[in-house]
């Protein structure tokens, strides 16, 4: 099975999936370079909480983000978005989620920043259906560097802790799984998105 088929199968069975090496080292490096170039150009801003006029609360969420649109999509990101489109079609075909589009952003966490435990669906907007998180960190990232994704497959049991190794893709149903980002000792990069239904 290819990565997209693995994701669809795991989503059907568990509602979540982790695929190390979804993006190879070359593709990850190219996407990381696009992210860092935009960051160096001052295109990022402090991330907020909530829908609409999001409020910045750095004690809850400390990352900086750049929302992706047609004006800031480089070649590596364009190629990834094509793969995500194939994933959207596969998920719709097999799981009938009615996914319509993808909203996504680059996220950079400075050393020491995290994001407290949360769900990805807003209380007043239920369109976000499927979360995708692709890590863009350097290939030498280790567990002791921190920045782990603490993820609760079941709220009654102990969480998993997922190392944000470059190229790893985490996918899960947005309304079902609590998760948090633990602080790291070095800059932590990802591309995070949400497939939305009507």
- Its CATH class, for the domain covering 3-42+61-197, is mainly beta
Q: Residues 28, 68, 54, 58: what is their CA dihedral angle, to the nearest 10 degrees?
A: 30
Residue 54 has pLDDT above 70, yes or no: no
**In this structure, are residues 180 and 115 in contact, taking their beta carbons and an 8 Å threshold?**
yes
The model's pLDDT over 2-45, given as tens digits with 9 standing for 90+, comes to: 999 999 999 999 999 999 999 999 999 999 999 999 999 999 99
Q: Which residues contact 36 (CB under 8 A, 6 or more apart)?
A: 189
Which H or E element spans position 36? helix 25-40
Residue ranges covered by each domain of the chain? 3-42+61-197
User: 158-182 b/e with 16+ CB inside 10 Å = b?
Assistant: ebeebbbbbbbbbbbbbeebebbbe
Beta-bridge mates of residue 180: 150
Radius of gyration of the chain from its Cα atoms, rounded to whole angstroms: 16
The one-character DSSP state at 41 is T
Q: What is the pTM of this model?
A: 0.92
Q: Which residues contact 106 (CB under 8 A, 6 or more apart)?
A: 35, 38, 39, 44, 65, 66, 68, 136, 189, 190, 191
Find, among 55, 54, 38, the residue nearest to 108 by Cα. Answer: 38
The model's pLDDT over 122-164, given as tens digits with 9 standing for 90+, comes to: 666 688 899 999 999 999 999 999 999 999 999 888 999 999 9
């Amino acid at each position: 099975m290819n990565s997209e088929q693995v994701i669809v199968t795991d989503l059907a069975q568990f509602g979540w999936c982790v695929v190390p090496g979804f993006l190879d080292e070359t593709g990850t490096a190219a996407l990381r370079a696009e992210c860092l170039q935009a960051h160096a150009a001052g295109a990022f801003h402090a991330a907020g909480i909530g829908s609409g006029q999001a409020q910045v609360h750095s004690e809850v969420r400390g990352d900086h983000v750049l929302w992706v649109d047609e004006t800031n999509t480089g070649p590596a990101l364009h190629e990834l978005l094509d793969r995500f489109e194939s994933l959207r079609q596969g998920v719709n075909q097999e799981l009938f989620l009615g996914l319509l589009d993808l909203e996504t952003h680059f996220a950079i966490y400075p050393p020491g920043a995290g994001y407290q435990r949360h769900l990805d669906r807003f209380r007043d907007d239920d369109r976000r259906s499927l979360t995708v998180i692709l890590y863009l960190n350097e290939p030498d990232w280790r567990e002791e560097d921190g920045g782990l994704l603490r993820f609760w497959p079941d709220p009654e049991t102990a969480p998993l802790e997922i190392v944000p190794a470059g190229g790893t893709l985490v996918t899960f149903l947005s309304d079902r799984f609590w998760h948090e980002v633990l602080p790291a000792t070095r800059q932590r990069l990802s591309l995070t998105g949400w497939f939305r239904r009507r």
